[in-house]
Structures are given as structure tokens and as C-alpha cells.
A and B are shown apart, each in its own frame.
Chain A
């Protein structure tokens, strides 16, 4: 069995050194900043901290060396084998024909030592949180392995012919089917910020109503410390939200310019390759026939401005940056494009997944809000009654009771407005199209989602209704897909009851 490249130890130890220094800094800063501690005590404590740091770092060194010694991989005639783990040893064997996705990852530390991480996934994500195979090798060896494994997953057997791939899979920038230009990145960042700002404003609106009522009471000296408390609490919350927006701005900039640096989609034969990243480079390769679904999403602001993102459901391909973990997130196909361009882009990259126009629409508006109204009414009513009763028992002045009640109703009213808007959007969005062996499901409220998948990936159909809705011939539909555990349900709300019968007929029984 071949060992991983030694660069693994060096790159990991370099990264561990940074992490250890950060941890030590966090722990020590308070002690050294503490003015009450004597200077000589601080100096005397330094050797202990250095020894402590050395012990912790030594543990990392031992762990990395042990990991290196116990890990390795082997490409046999029909399978790829991999050993890894120190405390929990794992041995994985994966048949070449079962390879679902091959992902190459290279972070800054890997690049310093010229190595890369290759993860090979079988697609059995439901129970496992890790890719089946992890290989840490020199960058050029990883590229060679990537090409070889791509050839092997088609052929299934390793022989002289298949180990010499006819085409290099790693393609150049000019072959990219989509360009994430600087202009698009700027727009993408701005829209992301606008989305955060929108929700900050919505939250602010809620706060202003309560503050307004409390302030009015304060001016008339009704509320005293109660009102001040409300006022401060909401001002602090708004401050936190603004701070969050600033962090979000920085995060968005890093995400779009650094995270999606040199983003490209290339296609050759049955293989699709998506690569991106500056500090951490990703190269994800998977076969066209491994795609389970394509999801087009539009946040509220994106929806208003006519933009969208396209994501892919390919088990084993995610945007994760962890060591070798794979959660149930969707992989990105196109981070940002005009909604009207979606069909054009998909027809170039994934022609079988171009979304169809909606054939059904929501059967009624009221069911989108009915249960919410009932629950909100009960919760608000009960809280109000309990609060008023408690305040009466405590002999709280009537004006205070009035102010608190008004504030609670105000909050309830804002929540109701948000729900009504969300329900209008849901009413407009929800629907289904069934054509040419594929289903296009439209669903969501503030965020509009369109998922396209083939009949063969539909594994169960669920019909949800209430006695009243049943009488009106209305039901919601849950489509269970053959996909990752967290995203395998698509809920299309308030449709005609007969639709679930139509979809049930599509199940391969």
C-alpha cells in the first residue's frame, strides 16, 4: 500500500501551529492584559505557557506522524483501497464502477508543500459523513490519479489501456461553459449584502414599532424604567444586526472574489468538471448520469432583480472545505446568473435538466395563511391574556398594561404582515410541470426554488391534507427524491388533490 506524501505532515503541522498560536493567544490575552496582575508574575508565567504550548503541539506532531504511518492507498485491478485513521482506523474499498464523484482540494498550506487532497466518493451519503477514499499526494500525482480514476470508473478494470487516459480531463479556462466575471462577482456581492440589509430593515421595522410605542409612553412618563429597558434592548439588537451586516459584507467579498476565483465549468463526454478557489482550490469531477437533480434558487432580492443561482444534487459533490467530510449540502453549478439565462446555461451544460414552464398553480390562497393565523391568534391571545392577568395581580398601572398590550399586538401585526407577504409569494410560486420523463417542481416563499429531476429519481410521493382541504379538493404534495439525506423532500403546497394521483403514476413500481 502506497503511503501519502510526506507533505501532509508538514502542511498539517504548519496549519496546527497557526491554530495553536490562535488558541494560546485567546487564552493568554486576558492574563497579560489584566492590569491587576503583577509584571513579575506575568514574566514568571511565560515558561509555563511555553511548556504548555509545546506539549499541545507535540501531541499534534505525534498525531500527524501516526496518521501518516497508518494511512495509505492502493489501486488494484478492480478497486481502490484506502487506510486511514489513528484512534479509529478505517479501511475503505471502492469498486471503480461505483465511483460517484472525484474531488480535488488544495488549501494554502497544501500549496506551500505542493500537495493536494483527492477524495473519491461512492455516493452512499445517507449514513456516512466521510468520503470513502482520501488520498494526499503531490499535486501532479493527484492530477494523474484524477485522470486515471476517471478512465477507470468508465472501464471498471485497471489494465494497460485504461491507466493511460486518452484525454486529459483537466481543461483550460477557455473551455469553460460559464464565466463568473468580475462584474458578476460585484453584483453578486451587492445582492447578497442587499439581502442581509433587507432582513435587517424588516427587523428594524419591527423594532421601530415597539420603540415608538414605548417612547411615546416614556415621553409621557408612563413607562419609566420598563420603557427604558425595552428601548435599550431593541437598540442593542439593531446594533448587533448592523454589525452582522458589516461582517456579512466582508464575508461576501471574500466568498465571491476569493472563494470563486477562476470559477469554471468544463464538460467532456459524460464528465463534468467544476473548479474554483484562490486560497483553497477545488476541482470536482463527476459523471453526467450521477446528477440526481438541479435546483435553481432565488432569494427575495435576487427574485426582485431577476437573478438566480443554480445548484446541483450530486451525491459526493459539495462545497465543503472540511478535511474529507461530506454533508448533505448541494454543490454549486452556477453561483450567479440572470434568471432568464438559466435555460440557456442549462441547455449547454445539462440539457436534460432545463426547467419547464409551470403546468399547475396553487389552488387557493387562504390555506397558505390559515394555520398560521390560527396559531398566531392562539399564541398571541393566550400570551396577552396571561400577561394582562399577571400584571393585574401585580397591580401594574393601567397605562403600562395598555403599552405592553399594544407592543405585543404590534409585534403580532408585523409578523402577520411578513407571513401574508410570504404566503402571496408562495401562492405565486408553487406548482409543478411534468414533461418528457422529468418533473419541474416550483416551491418556496421568500426564496423561490425550482428543482428539476427525472422520474427515475422519484422514490416516494406523499399527500398531505386536512379534512376541510380534502372537501375542497386541495392537498400539498411531498416528493421524495433519491438524493442526500437533508434535501430529499420537495414540498409543493396547496395543489389540486388529483395532482398527487398523477404523480403517483410516475413512480416506478
Chain B
């Protein structure tokens, strides 16, 4: 089975989310400076706190901004009439195989940002776990849901006939 890459607009969504996260981190850093300045903290205290908070914020900032690109590069997904395969993970690479006949429900979800970018998340529920296919274009998600639904019905029929 050939696995597909995510659409480029997914990367855009992840970068928007990362930017929001980065702004929140910068906000924390600025708030700390503001509090220290307002309380007239001595310069050595200010230096010590800024060093501590600054290092943590800088590391998190790098992580937040690099991760979307790495995640995008590593993500791959695909399905056929029998199984769904999702590959993901930057350091820990995960490959999950879900048989189509184990699907219980399929869900398509959209937040405000996803709606703006015409993207959708897909959740595959089974009798045990839920599996997410991170983000697809709404068109792809609808097509996937329709095809999986058809595949599931056909597969259940096949298995029933095999049992008979």
C-alpha cells in the first residue's frame, strides 16, 4: 500500500498553532520582566530569574517552531479495502495498522482554524482505542470517510459469507 503525505495546508495550520504557542511563551517571558521591573527587584535577582526563565522559554520556543516541519516530514497515512496505516513520530516513530473490519464509528472534526483552512481531523473509533489521523483536507477526509464506510460494509459482508 502506498502511503500518502499530508497536504501542505496542514503544515500551515501547525505553524499557526505553533506561532500562537510561541506568542504565549513570549508573553510569559515579558510578564516576568514586567513583574520584576514593577517590583523594583535588584539587578542580580533580575539576572538570575531572567536566566532561568529565559533558558526554558528559549528551548521551548525552538522546540515549538521546529516541530511542525519535522512532524510533517514524518507523517504518512493510507488505507485500502482491508486496513488503515498511519506512520508518525519524530524521535519515536510509530506505525499503526487498523483493520477496516474493526471500525465502530468514524468521526470528522473541525475547529475554527481548520474551518478557515478547509481542513478536518478524522478519528477512527474501534471497540478498544480511538485512532486519529491528524489533519486532512476536508475533501480528503470526506472521501476517506465515504470509502471506509463502503469498505467496512463490504468487508463485514465478506466475513459473514466466510463464516457461512
Interface residues in chain A, defined as those with a beta carbon under 8 Å from any beta carbon in chain B: 126, 382, 386, 389-390, 393-394, 459-467, 470, 478, 480-483, 485, 488-489, 500, 504, 507-509
Contact = CB atoms under 8 A, between A and B. Distances in A.
Interface of B: 44-45, 47-48, 51-52, 55, 82-83, 89, 91-102, 125-129, 131, 159
B48 A462 contact: no
A460 B93 contact: no
Contacts of A465: 92-93
Could you tell me the dominant secondary structure of chain B's interface residues? mixed
Nearest to A127: B125
B93 A386 contact: no
Could you tell me the dominant secondary structure of chain A's interface residues? mixed
Given A386-B51, A390-B51, A509-B83, A459 B98 contact: yes
A126 B126 CA distance: 9
Contact of A390 (B52, B95, B101): B52
Contact of A489 (B47, B94, B129): B129
A127 to B, nearest CB: 9
B47 A393 contact: yes
Contact of B127 (A389, A459, A504): A459
B97 A507 contact: yes
Contact of A463 (B45, B91, B95, B131): B95
A482 B101 CA distance: 13
B97 A466 contact: no
Given A382-B55, A508-B101, A463 B127 contact: no
A220 B87 CA distance: 59
B100 A126 contact: no
B95 A488 contact: no
Given A460-B99, A483-B128, A488-B129, A467 B93 contact: yes
Contacts of B52: 386, 390
Nearest to B128: A488
B87 to A, nearest CB: 9
A300 B44 CA distance: 49
Contacts of A482: 102, 126-128
A126 to B, nearest CB: 7
22 contacts: A126-B125, A386-B51, A389-B51, A393-B51, A460-B98, A460-B126, A462-B95, A463-B96, A464-B93, A464-B94, A466-B92, A467-B93, A480-B128, A482-B127, A483-B127, A483-B128, A488-B129, A500-B95, A504-B97, A507-B83, A508-B99, A508-B102
Contacts of A460: 96-99, 102, 126, 128-129, 131
A459 B102 CA distance: 6
B160 to A, nearest CB: 13
Contacts of A463: 94-96
Given A460-B102, A488-B128, A489-B129, 10 more contacts: A390-B48, A393-B44, A460-B97, A461-B97, A480-B126, A480-B129, A482-B126, A482-B127, A508-B99, A509-B99
B128 A509 contact: no
A459 B128 contact: yes
A110 B39 CA distance: 62
A126 B129 CA distance: 9
Contacts of B96: 460-463, 478
Contacts of A390: 48, 51-52
B94 to A, nearest CB: 5
B129 A464 contact: no
A215 B47 CA distance: 31
A16 B131 CA distance: 43
B96 to A, nearest CB: 4
